[in-house]
Amino acid sequence: MILNGKEVAAIIKDNVKEKINLQLTLAVILVGDDNASKIYVRNKKIACDYVGIKSLVYELPASITQNDLLELVYELNSRPDVTGILVQLPLPKHIDEAIVMENINPLKDVDGFNPQNVGALTLGAPKFIPCTPLGIMNLLAHYKISIDGKNCTIIGRSNDVGKPMALLMLAANATVTVCHSHTKNLTDITKTADILISAVGKAKFINADMIKSGATLIDVGINRESGKLCGDIDFDSCVEKAANITPVPGGVGPMTIATLMQNCVLASELQRAQ
């Protein structure tokens, strides 16, 4: 079964559109000229326009100082008309991403990267959950793919995908293995996975020889090969062996953006409850 994230994302966005009865505003900060980041920001703006969320996009030069970026974050924190704040990653190397995330108001942190929100997720009492991992959970739930008791292997230990993904899978009663660049005998591990999630950023890194027959394959990777978009998973070699698989594009990517829209609604609810 092809897990059609584009289709499920459309359902989520329609649900969000029906829920919005107040003016919500998402502020997106884009630093530098990274083409992939520009595409992500454009797609987020399109989604905001569709569901009825006002979007503010701040395009800043790559040369901006960390202090100047933080000044903008403080300003957006203090503005009552701004519901959510998103700083598009990655940031230039001279800016400390951790410090920037730490200074976003936790109640406006729609990406779920502020340490307070990360800690709450770790303790099993999350408010905001990072959009890509939560989007994957939403996708699995839509297709009624069981997680309880399954072996889940996650390739990649990033703060935005790998680590929160592992926590969500643990909370859903999966047995979780996290692999990374220092993992030995990777194929021996991936072949035991009932659910394999790859967020390593290497084109067609996972092939049919590395997966278990009947596995569910979730491809977070966005790569280019010969000018065409592709994921971490070699779709053509794995599609017949897997029970379920996400395509690239049209799989996890749309779910990430749809989940961001959900988090904007949650931000409004949390702020009104204060």
Q: Which residue type, as a one-letter code, is found at position 264?
A: C
The answer to whether the CB of 139 falls within 8 A of the CB of 174 is: no
Query: CB neighbours (10 Å) of residue 64?
Result: 18
Helix (H) or strand (E) holding 100: helix 97-102
Helix, coil or strand: residue 168: helix
Site of tokens 């390739």: 155
Closest CA to 2 of 147, 190, 219: 219
Residue positions annotated with a catalytic role:
44, 88, 111
Closest CA to 114 of 63, 164, 162, 47: 164
Query: Pairing relation of β-strands 223-225 and 228-230?
Result: antiparallel
